[in-house]
Amino acid sequence: MKWATCDLADYALRKADDTLVLGQRLSEWCGHGPVLEQDIALTNVALDLIGQARGYYQMAAAWRADGSTEDDLAYRRDAHLYGNHLLVELPNGHWGDTLARQFFFDAYNFFLLEQLSKSPVPELSALAQKAYKEVSYHAQFSAEWIIRLGDGTDESHTKIQQSVNRLWAYTGELFEDTDLDRKLDGAVPLPSTFRADWLQKMREVFALATLELPDPNAYMQKGGLHGRHTEHLGYILAEMQYLPRAYPDAKW
């Protein structure tokens, strides 16, 4: 293989961190959804994302070949070693905040996986092909909710527009090309290459939702990919990692 396995491991870790952190966030809705069906829907999405995260962590562990396991990577790294996008670590807020965050991420994940399915690295393409089918259901779900809330009552319209506006500054980072992406040229897609597809999907759905698309060239928050996170990530990890850190040999 012409790519360094340490770079592939770092790439898989970023994808793992994105899906694990968002899966963990969505799990917080379990038992708190507005109605039973939506509670179940979000926990199903969370389960898929955590399943995808496991696949990426297993890959990363194999490529690192330093004896670390998927569990070590998920539970024994501190916040500054996490390479997830800032968007996925943001608090759930209200239902509209969660669904706006989800729609931004699902559409990104959909186009990412579409490209990654064609990767010449068999581990990455296999997981991407599998995850792509799951994520198309996620994107359909979150898009439907954007439309339902945007084209709903005056109050739901106002609130979802506010959620979209507030979270917009965290979408730019999704399409940031980093040195790692460039080192893996040919193995993985450059995020900037599917930004136009993503924006087109935003326009399409926002038009149906009668929502205003914020300025794509507005100032964007960055840093997550380089380990510079919002204060929220530490709290997620504190809760998620507590048990395996306090009782390292705990078994089910």
Determine contact, residues 205/103, Cβ cutoff 8 Å.
Answer: yes
**Distances in Å between the alpha carbon of 148 and those of 33, 123, 160?**
16, 37, 10
Nearest-approach distance from CB 78 to other proteins, in angstroms: 25
Closer to other proteins at the Cβ: 72 or 144? 144
8 Å CB contact between 33 and 40:
yes
CA distances from 68 to 74, 107, 171, 247 (A): 10, 32, 32, 17
What is the smallest separation between the CB atom of 37 and other proteins, expressed in angstroms? 4
Q: Which residues bind other proteins (CB under 8 A)?
A: 37-38, 40-41, 44-45, 47-52, 54-55, 122, 125-127, 129-131, 133-134, 136-137, 139-141, 143-144, 205
Distances (CA, A) of 133 to 39, 155, 228, 247: 21, 34, 31, 36
Query: CB of residue 183 vs other proteins: minimum separation in angstroms?
Result: 24
**73 vs 143, which CB is nearer to other proteins?**
143
Q: Which is nearer to other proteins, 45 or 90 (CB)?
A: 45
Nearer to other proteins, 133 or 182 (CB): 133
**Which of 138/229 has CB closer to other proteins?**
138
> Quick check: 97 and 232 in contact, CB under 8 A?
no
CB of residue 20 to other proteins, shortest distance in Å: 11
Q: Measured from the CB of residue 31, what is the shortest distance to other proteins in angstroms?
A: 15
Q: Which of 185, 236, 219 is closest to 78 using CA atoms? A: 236
